[in-house]
Amino acid sequence: MTQPKESTYQKSAPWLKHKERSNMLMLRIMSWISLRLGRRAGRSVLHLIALYFVLFAPASRRASLGYLPRALGRPATFVDMYKHFFCFASTIHDRIYLINRRYDLFDIEIQGESAIRPLIDAKKGVLLMGAHLGSFEVMRAIGRKVPGLSVAMVMHKDNAQKINAMLAAINPEASMDVIPLGHIDSMLQIQEHLNEGMLVGMLSDRTLGDEPMAHVELLGATAAIPTGPFRMAALLRRPVVFMTGLYMGDNRYQVHFETLADFTDIPRGQRDQAVNVAIARYTELLNRYTRLAPYNWFNFFDYWQSVPASLSEKKHQ
């Protein structure tokens, strides 16, 4: 558990620098408990974990307190913070069961399937954009209800390694199609997947640090959204669907699909403008769903301050 060297991550985003150590530890402890004692027993431990985070994880607590009042529209209480951590812990905990195909444990409601059904059927490739909002993993469970919904996830290569290690530990048969970013040909891989008619998913609310950002109005204050995913969608001329799997308490999840953009017929000259429209729409959806399910926001760093000045200006005008 060493901290990454500053020099290696110099250009990286705060969330990368700010090691995901605590998350990984939590995941390990919980997978052990869950698989041996069952979901109910596991969940009682989640309360302890949430409490631990409220009491002993000052950085996460600060982030939670910085975010919650914006989404709730009122000052956050100790209970809110507790709920926030508990919600996060629940989704991680449930991931263990989802990976083990225990879909029977969950009550999952799907909304907006019509936004994605025709695109899946057209088999021309779709980009699914989510955020660190709720659980993307419930996708596994709804694969049965929404046939054809098999997604290759694009993620930072370090995270890809961690996820794969985790998957292997929990269920060696559960594979996840992952496209690691950070290689010159990552983008070519994405293109090939789309050309085969597949769905490619990514969480577009965090920067990887080497890309320009767009400033948006999120929950009443300026935040930075990376433009990369949207520029990529525009270049590849694909439809984009927003997806979030909100945890609604107990064993309930609510999956939402929303039309985000369609770059299929956007001529080159209008691309930048279309990208801006898509970013605005993405922001609108983040605003809507963070307010709808405030405890589902899982960016435990200061999201509204993480606008590195050096990254906000680049050659793209």
Taking phi over 0 as left and psi of -120 to 50 as alpha, with beta for the rest, 123 belongs to left
Q: Judged by CB under 8 A, which of 158, 192, 262, 302 binds another protein?
A: 192
310 near another protein, rule: CB under 8 A? no
Cβ-based nearer residue to another protein, 100 or 191 = 191
Cβ-based nearer residue to another protein, 105 or 188 = 188
- Stretch binding another protein (CB under 8 A), from 26-34, 52-60, 157-165, 179-187: 179-187
Alpha-carbon gap, residue 133 to 131, rounded angstroms: 5
Consecutive H or E run containing 255: strand 252-262
Cβ-based nearer residue to another protein, 199 or 236 = 236
- Stretch binding another protein (CB under 8 A), from 70-78, 87-95, 127-135, 204-212: 204-212
Count Cβ atoms below 10 Å from residue 175 Cβ, excluding itself.
10
State the nearest-atom distance from the C-beta of 266 to another protein, in Å. Answer: 14
| Per-residue x/- track, 223-262, another protein (CB under 8 A) | -----x--xx--xx--------------------------
Tokens of 60: 């996460």
185 near another protein, rule: CB under 8 A? yes
Side chain identity, residue 122: A
213 near another protein, rule: CB under 8 A? no
State the nearest-atom distance from the C-beta of 301 to another protein, in Å. Answer: 22
Cβ-based nearer residue to another protein, 228 or 245 = 228
The alpha-helical segments, DSSP class H, found in the chain are 14-17, 21-37, 39-56, 58-72, 78-99, 117-122, 138-142, 157-170, 186-195, 228-236, 271-292, 309-312
State the nearest-atom distance from the C-beta of 229 to another protein, in Å. Answer: 9
**Nearest residue to 257 (alpha-carbon basis) of 275, 278, 234, 240:** 240
Cβ-based nearer residue to another protein, 107 or 196 = 196
Contacts of 33 (CB under 8 A, 6+ apart): 41, 42, 45
Cβ-based nearer residue to another protein, 147 or 182 = 182
For 223-241, the DSSP string reads EEEESHHHHHHHHHT-EEE
Residues making contact with another protein (CB under 8 A): 181-189, 191-192, 210-212, 228, 231-232, 235-236, 314-317
